[in-house]
Chains A and B, each alone.
Chain A
Amino acid sequence: EAGVAQSPRYKIIEKRQSVAFWCNPISGHATLYWYQQILGQGPKLLIQFQNNGVVDDSQLPKDRFSAERLKGVDSTLKIQPAKLEDSAVYLCASTRRNYNEQFFGPGTRLTVL
């Protein structure tokens, strides 16, 4: 079974630029999560999707971050405009509906200069 795929693996941008990350979850996994992991800290949930609907986006900075999951499969996370404090690893995870073990992708490391 293929794992969770993410791209790009690394991204360097200037502050105020825009950036987008892509995630393809494990086939058949209805629930998808985006987490932000700042260096030295544990990951923090940004948004949770169930199929193509948003379940929880309470910690998503909506003035600059947006996410979508068209057709309930792939998902994209966008930051516009980026700030220095957005430098982090962005992790995507997926799980079967009503089954709590989460499977993580390799992450995208974002550096904002």
Chain B
Amino acid sequence: KNEVEQSPQNLTAQEGEFITINCSYSVGISALHWLQQHPGGGIVSLFMLSSGKKKHGRLIATINIQEKHSSLHITASHPRDSAVYICAVSTGGGADGLTFGKGTHLIIQP
């Protein structure tokens, strides 16, 4: 069974700051997902990656397969980035259920 650990659990920062959220997992994976969840809202997929780095707007996700570690970065953070960011992994080929971390609650203050 894969264990997914995220840090920090809670993060409060000022608008404009560079944000880093970390994720580590215990066994080999086929893909790692970063997802965003707003209070009372559904979950939105941000990235799915199995190697290297992906960028979308101000969001950057990296993964190091050897170290079983991934990071999510937010550049020039904005209050609308306030949400829970969740790391999840899938371990099989094809479609399979995700194992989730507990999430990082991010608050960006104006």
Contact = CB atoms under 8 A, between A and B. Distances in A.
Interface of A: 30-31, 33, 35, 40-45, 48, 50, 55-56, 91, 93, 95-107
Given A100-B90, A102-B45, A104-B42, A41 B102 contact: yes
A6 to B, nearest CB: 9
Nearest to B87: A42
Contacts of A44: 100
Contact of A42 (B45, B86, B96): B86
Given A40-B102, A42-B88, A98 B43 contact: no
Nearest to A45: B97
B48 A101 contact: yes
B44 A104 contact: yes
Nearest to A41: B102
B103 A42 contact: yes
The 6 A-B pairs with the shortest beta carbon distances in the complex, nearest first, are: A42-B100, A45-B97, A31-B95, A104-B43, A106-B42, A98-B94
B57 interface: no
Contacts of B45: 101-104
B22 interface: no
A33 B43 CA distance: 13
Nearest to A98: B94
B41 interface: yes
Contacts of A40: 102
A30 B17 CA distance: 41
Interface in B77-106: 86, 88, 90, 93-103
B95 A97 contact: yes
